[in-house]
């Protein structure tokens, strides 16, 4: 099941057959949106959250530290290597500045205050994972002058268009790897069940992926965006064990369960990856920053907490913007009104 990506008629294929809704889905969704009464956006902006850049002057005590900036954007520090993952500082996860899903809270750290970055990891080309304005600014920063941009097949052209130097871009097919930090860290691209495209008319032209990030002492699985598929078991067996497993829980709905896990799907995937014994701590991502579905904004994390309690799992849920050692902890920031 885990193999290089297949292209058919110019379009990348999912690892298993996966129907993805088109224009017809809009007509099915419109009545649901018009009648929906869930609190999809916080009534008051959460936070404020702030990242103290002085924290990065000190290395992680455990060798594994994460700063979660909301949704899927994180700074992963793994045995001295710094990876900026799916950075989106844009005001909206959309092709325009004036319409589309708007951030629930402001960025916790100016891009200019980021520490020196070894690599930027971009899983796929969707707006909530690849922000044009963010990339344009990052490409000009001195702290990223020596950074590699690691991404999926075809996404490099978009990064180049946004100002990233072509010689700093590494595109990976599924099962391919690249080595960073003089051999300290290896990033391996693996299949995910999702799709790509920055419009309805260029879907599947670039690749999407999940990733294993492995250093001398630690291993992380970044699931990016994916629906449930049986390959999670094989990934866990072939590439685990992991210290941290980052899986999406938000922006889900029954109509697109094939391409997004949701909290129940994330729990199923975590179990298939090996559960706490082999998948380590479960970190929920892809939630808490943008309104991308019909559910209440707190619903994904509340449901995952419920499942974790039933299963006896410990979660890693850091406060947005706080550099946090990877240990079992849950800030419950979403319940706190400041």
Name the pairing type of β-strands 81-85 and 119-122: parallel
Does 92 score more than 80 pLDDT? Answer: yes
Residue 22: what pLDDT? Answer: 65
Contacts of 192 (CB under 8 A, 6+ apart): 15, 123, 208, 209, 210, 223, 224, 225, 226
- Which residues on neighbouring strands pair with residue 316, listed in sequence order? 329
pLDDT tens profile 207-220:
999 999 999 999 99
Domain residues for 284? 62-330
Over residues 67-95, mean pLDDT: 97
φ/ψ of 153, rounded to 5, equals -55, 130
Residue 30: what pLDDT? Answer: 66
Q: Is residue 311 part of a domain?
A: yes
Into how many domains does the chain fold? Answer: 1
CA–CA gap between residue 108 and residue 87 (Å, rounded): 12
The whole-model pTM stands at: 0.96
φ/ψ of 220, rounded to 5, equals -130, 135
End-to-end CA distance of the chain: 47
Does 329 score more than 90 pLDDT? Answer: no
Contacts of 213 (CB under 8 A, 6+ apart): 76, 78, 83, 121, 185, 186, 187, 219, 220, 221, 222
The closest alpha carbon to 225, from 177, 270, 286, belongs to 286
User: Which of 97-101's residues contact partners 24+ apart within 8 Å by CB, and which partners?
Assistant: 100/127, 101/128, 101/290, 101/291, 101/292
Bond into 241 cis (ω within 30): yes
User: Can you read off the two tokens belonging to residue 219?
Assistant: 């291993």
The closest alpha carbon to 76, from 125, 113, 118, belongs to 118
Residue 200: what pLDDT? Answer: 81
CA–CA gap between residue 164 and residue 177 (Å, rounded): 21
Q: Is residue 24 part of a domain?
A: no
Q: Is residue 2 part of a domain?
A: no
pLDDT tens profile 143-177:
999 999 999 999 999 999 999 999 999 999 999 99
Q: Is residue 262 part of a domain?
A: yes
Q: Is residue 178 part of a domain?
A: yes
Q: Is residue 37 part of a domain?
A: no
Q: Is residue 21 part of a domain?
A: no
Q: Is residue 32 part of a domain?
A: no
CATH of the domain at 170: 3.60.15.10
CA–CA gap between residue 12 and residue 97 (Å, rounded): 29
Residue 25: what pLDDT? Answer: 67
pLDDT tens profile 101-141:
999 999 999 999 999 999 999 999 999 999 999 999 999 99
């Amino acid at each position: 099941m885990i193999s290089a990506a297949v292209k058919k008629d110019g379009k990348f294929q999912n690892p298993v057959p996966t129907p993805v809704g088109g224009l017809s889905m809009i007509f099915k969704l419109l009545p649901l949106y018009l009648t929906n009464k869930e609190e999809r956006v916080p009534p008051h902006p959460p936070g404020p959250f702030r990242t103290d850049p002085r924290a990065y002057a000190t290395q992680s005590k455990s060798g594994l530290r994460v700063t979660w900036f909301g949704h899927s954007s994180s700074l992963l520090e793994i045995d001295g290597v710094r990876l900026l993952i799916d950075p989106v500082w844009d005001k909206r996860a959309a092709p325009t500045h004036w319409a589309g899903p708007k951030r629930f809270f402001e960025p916790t750290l100016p891009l200019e205050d980021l520490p020196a970055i070894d690599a930027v990891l971009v899983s796929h080309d969707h707006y909530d994972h690849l922000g044009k304005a963010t990339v344009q600014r990052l490409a000009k920063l001195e702290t990223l002058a020596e950074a590699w941009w690691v991404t999926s097949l075809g996404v490099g052209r978009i990064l180049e268009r946004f100002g990233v130097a072509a010689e700093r871009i590494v595109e990976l097919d599924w099962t391919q790897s690249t080595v960073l930090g003089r051999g300290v860290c290896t990033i391996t691209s693996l299949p995910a069940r999702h799709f790509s495209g920055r419009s309805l008319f260029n879907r599947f032209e670039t690749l999407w992926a999940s990733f294993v990030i492995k250093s001398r002492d630690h291993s992380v699985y970044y699931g990016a965006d994916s629906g449930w598929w049986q390959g999670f078991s094989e990934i866990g067996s072939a590439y685990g064990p992991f210290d941290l497993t980052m899986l999406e829980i938000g922006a889900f709905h029954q109509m697109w369960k094939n391409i997004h896990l949701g909290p129940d799907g994330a729990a199923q995937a975590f179990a298939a990856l090996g559960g706490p014994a082999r998948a380590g701590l479960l970190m929920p991502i892809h939630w808490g920053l943008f309104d991308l579905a019909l559910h209440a904004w707190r619903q994904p994390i509340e449901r995952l907490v419920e499942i974790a309690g039933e299963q006896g799992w410990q979660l890693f849920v850091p406060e947005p913007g706080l550099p946090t050692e990877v240990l079992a902890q849950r800030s419950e920031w979403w319940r706190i009104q400041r």
